[in-house]
Amino acid sequence: MSCYQDLQLAARAVRLASRLCQSVQRGLLAKETQSKSDDSPVTVADYGSQALVSWALERELPAGSFSLVAEEDSEDLGTETGAAMLTRITQLVNDTIAADSTLDAAPLTSKDVLLAIDQGRSKGGATGRHWVLDPIDGTRGFVRGDQYAVALGLLENGEIVVGVLGCPNLPMTSIAHGVPKDSNEPVGCLFTASKGAGTFVQSLDGKLQPQQVYVSNVDDPAWATFCESYESAHSNQSLTANIARVLGVTAPPVRIDSQAKYGAMARGDAVIYLRFPHPGYREKIWDHAAGSIVITEAGGAVFDAAGKSLDFSKGRFLDLERGIIATNKKLKPVVLAAVQTVLNGEQPSQKL
Ligand SMILES: Nc1ncnc2c1ncn2[C@@H]1O[C@H](COP(=O)(O)OS(=O)(=O)O)[C@@H](OP(=O)(O)O)[C@H]1O
Ligand SMILES: [Mg+2]
Ligand SMILES: [Mg+2]
Ligand SMILES: [Mg+2]
């Protein structure tokens, strides 16, 4: 399969899963949310989205060739509450497939759904082709009714070559000053990127044609805007405020959930993304695979606190120096210097 065909396949799968997420978010019920063993939330939509993407990819790929590294697994669906959830997930998956006039498929059984979810247990690695999926990135944002993304990448011999981000709540217009509440602006963006072929945005509903996008060309940090996680538990916001101060950034950060940040940055809404998880947290590849190629193909750079590009070839986790930074190529040296200045000035007890 060519990169172009992989990208088309990925975009169809992400659109399908995004429709399931949109319908769940519209009628979200508290009982459709569970807590995982690490206390993070997971909803019927996370499982449904993973099942749909897995199913949509596998049916189009040569038999036996499908490998998927994905966030969720079916373990928690084996419990009593899990069984009720599975029935609901199966219904959602089948309703979404039935509503798509381009798909001709028999309904999935609950067992098919479990199998599709558990395809995501692959370990990835440095050789071969592995799809990398976050079925809902920003589950907390999803539950709150805010931003989230369906994020799908393709890892080929250790390198991300395709990335698709479905961002159902992201306005098609700039969010440089934050996401307006209660606006009538159209929302729903699909970002697509493939190696050497650029990054494009189109409307998730397919009504607006793809347009090539580029990261901001701002080269003076005083004019830069930065974005970061909405959840302060996910990134040290006092550290990022210090980095911004050292850089001379004056605008307040735009805080939104999920890899929608990478999409927004790829079209120039923000100039710098700073992400510094609290000590002990290990980043997963599905939280950055699609987003990183969306940025790099738009002309930007994604790197860690040592200035190294992200390495997706080490399995399910990223092996990183301290944090993740994205910006344009001109600003990379100055942003990296500011990051290192602030990290070097930290108290030793705050270091990893
Ligand atoms: N402690 C901690 N530190 C850093 N990151 C964490 C942490 N806990 C979770 N996660 C991961 O963060 C993913 C959500 O991404 P964001 O931080 O960009 O969005 S948010 O503002 O927090 O909603 C989120 O992805 P999803 O689980 O897919 O929502 C997690 O993988
Ligand atoms: Mg999660
Ligand atoms: Mg995630
Ligand atoms: Mg997720």
How confident is the model over 43-69, as a mean pLDDT?
96
**CA angle 22–48–293, rounded 5-degree value:** 75
Q: CA dist 240 to 204, 229, 320, Å?
A: 32, 11, 17
Please check whether residue 276 is in contact with residue 236, taking contact to mean a CB–CB distance below 8 angstroms: yes
CATH match for 221-350 among 3.40.190.80, 3.20.20.120, 3.40.50.20, 1.10.10.10: 3.40.190.80
The alpha carbon of residue 180 and the mean position of all alpha carbons in its chain are separated, in whole angstroms, by 21
Q: What is the mean pLDDT of residues 222-230?
A: 95
Do 327 and 226 touch, CB atoms closer than 8 A?
no
Averaged over 130-159, what is the pLDDT? 96
Percent helix, percent strand, percent coil in the chain, to nearest 5: 35, 20, 40
Residue 182, CA distances (Å) to 122, 169, 174, 204, 252 in order = 41, 12, 15, 19, 21
Active site residue 38: no
Q: Measured in angstroms, how far is the CA atom of residue 28 from the centroid of ligand 4?
A: 17
Indicate which atom in ligand 1 lies nearest the CA of residue 138.
29
The pLDDT value recorded for residue 325 is 98
Q: Which of 39, 258, 273, 324 should be mutated for ligand 1, with most atoms under 8 A from CB?
A: 258
Query: Which numbered atom of ligand 1 lies nearest the CA of 259?
Result: 18
68: β partners = 131
For residue 140 and ligand 1, the question of a CB distance below 6 A is answered with yes
Q: What is the pLDDT averaged over residues 149-164?
A: 98
pLDDT of residue 183: 79
Instruction: Please provide residue 154's backbone torsions phi and psi, each rounded to the nearest 5 degrees.
Output: -125, 120
Measured in angstroms, how far is the CA atom of residue 288 from the centroid of ligand 3? Answer: 8
CA 347 / ligand 4 centre spacing (Å): 32
At residue 65, the pLDDT reads 94
Query: Is pLDDT above 60 for 98?
Result: yes
pLDDT of 32 higher than 90: no
Highest mean pLDDT among 25-39, 68-82, 255-269: 255-269
Cα gap 98→115, rounded to integer Å: 20
Distance 248 CA to ligand 4 centre (A): 33
Q: Above pLDDT 90, what percent of the chain?
A: 86
Is 233 touching ligand 1 by the criterion CB < 6 Å?
Answer: yes
Q: What is the pLDDT of residue 37?
A: 67
**Rounded distance between C-alpha atoms, residue 264 and residue 259, angstroms:** 9
Is the pLDDT confidence value at 45 over 90? yes
The pLDDT value recorded for residue 350 is 44
Q: Give residue 129's region: left, alpha or beta (phi > 0; psi -120 to 50).
A: beta
Could you tell me whether strands 68-70 and 198-203 are parallel, antiparallel, or unpaired per DSSP bridges?
unpaired
H/E segment holding residue 7: helix 3-26
Per-residue pLDDT at 33: 62
Q: Tell me what the mean pLDDT of segment 263-286 comes to.
A: 97
Residues 78 and 65: their CA atoms lie apart, in Å, by 28
Q: pLDDT tens digits, residue range 332-347?
A: 999 999 999 999 997 6
Residues with CB under 5 A from ligand 3 (ion): 134, 137, 287
Q: Which element (helix H / strand E) includes 335? A: helix 332-344
In the predicted structure, residue 70 carries a pLDDT above the cut 80: yes
- For a ligand 1 pocket test, name from 228, 262, 287, 292 the mutation site with the most ligand atoms within 8 angstroms of its C-beta: 287
Is 304 close to ligand 1, i.e. is its CB under 6 Å away? no
Return the SS3 of 49: helix
Q: What is the pTM of this model?
A: 0.95
In short, whether 257's Cβ falls inside 6 Å of ligand 1 is yes
CB 72 within 8 A of CB 114: no
DSSP code of 309? B
Q: Does pLDDT of 291 surpass 70? A: yes
State the closest ligand 1 atom to the C-alpha of 146, by its place in the atom list counted from 1.
Answer: 23
Ordered by start, the domain boundaries in the chain are 3-213, 221-350
Q: Which pLDDT belongs to residue 349?
A: 43
pLDDT of residue 79: 85
**CATH 3.30.540.10 for the 3-213 domain, yes or no:** yes
Mean pLDDT value across residues 286-303: 98
- pLDDT grade, residue 184 (50/70/90)? confident
Mean pLDDT of the chain: 93
Is 33 noted as a catalytic residue in this protein?
Answer: no
Give the pLDDT mean for 256-282.
97
CA neighbor of 51 nearest in space, from 59, 62, 40: 59
Q: Give the closest residue to 108 by CA, choosing from 154, 32, 50.
A: 50
Specify the residue with its C-alpha closest to ligand 1, atom 31.
287
Q: Residues 280-304: what's their mean pLDDT?
A: 98
Q: Do 3-213 and 221-350 agree at the fold level?
A: no
| Cα 78 to averaged position of ligand 4 atoms, centre (Å) | 20
| Catalytic residue (choose from 90, 96, 139, 199) | 139
ipTM value, please give it.
0.96
